[in-house]
Structure 1
């Protein structure tokens, strides 16, 4: 995959369309979650896009700076296109997201709100659960945190 990490203002309409389409395809249609995806945060965040060799968007994550939605930096809207699954794209996405967060906000702890069935996947990157599972949009989630010394 070819990776691009960019602030909202530099996305361009094509990239914005692609990321919103992928988020809708997976979160709304595939996972059948009706939720407010366009939540006002996109304008203030960085967007990590992984394009496949044919140029289609295969993986995406939204990187939220510290102080915008809590003290930690936050990795959110982590998504892999159905066409990109099964070949390590999710692991590559998280590796890129962690590296981008370290470049953007060196030394800051990271938090994510994982779907509970993916807790083991995120734990393999050093994230540990914070609290109990909770329901969000009909799917069990768990907050997970990566202390600053772990990803530095």
Structure 2
């Protein structure tokens, strides 16, 4: 799977439309969560995504320190529902971590993870920090990845 990394201004209108459609399909419709996905943070982010048969099926956005958390961060990690269970989520996280290292020269990464995905993120060396909390009505946990094992 080949991942593309672009700034907001480099995204084509078609790419942006597909990204927003994927995020809405999963985070709003599938998870039945009404929340403000368009948060004016996309303009600060680097967007990481991959296509399968001309359709974006994997996406995340990364931030340098201070743009979301005090550390670099990864967010909006999403795989199209029909494309799950093929390992694409792991490939996406690896690409996102690699992008933070190459673009920002950093190792420490903070995420706000949906709590049911804790084991997934732990497999990428993230560790839970603090107690769970509700974000948009969904249980989340702050997790930090400090360095490679």
With structure 2 as the length reference, what TM-score do the two structures score?
Answer: 0.96
Structure 1 segments of 4+ aligned residues over 2 angstroms from their partners: none
Given that 1:128 and 1:145 are in contact with CA atoms closer than 8 Å, whether structure 2 keeps it comes out as: yes
In the alignment, is residue 63 of structure 1 matched against residue 62 of structure 2?
Answer: yes
**Which SS does the other structure have where 2:105 is aligned?**
coil
- Once the two structures are superposed, residues 129-151 of structure 1 have per-residue CA deviations (whole angstroms, 9 ceiling, x without a partner) of 1100011112110010011x327
Partner of 1:136: 135
Structure 1 vs Structure 2 CA RMSD: 1.1
Within the alignment, does 1:150 sit opposite 2:148 as a pair? yes
Q: Name the CA distance, whole Å, in 1 between partners of 2:84 and 2:68.
A: 29
Aligned residue number for residue 49 of structure 2 = 49
Equivalent residue for 2:10?
10
Aligned residues: 149
Within a 5 Å distance, the mapping from 1:101-112 to structure 2 comes to: 101-112=100-111
Q: Match of 2:21, SS?
A: helix
Q: Does the aligned pair in 2 maintain the 1:66–1:108 contact within 8 Å?
A: no
User: TM-score if structure 1 supplies the norm length?
Assistant: 0.94
**DSSP 3-state at the match of 1:44:** coil
Separation in 1, partners of 2:75, 2:116: 16
Provide the C-alpha distance between the structure 2 equivalents of 1:19 and 1:118, rounded to a whole number of angstroms.
21
Alpha-carbon distance between aligned partners in 2 of 1:82 and 1:69, rounded to the nearest angstrom: 26
| Distance of 1:70 and 1:135 partners within structure 2 | 17
Alignment of 1:69-108 (within 5 A): 69-108=68-107
Secondary structure at 1:42 match in 2: coil
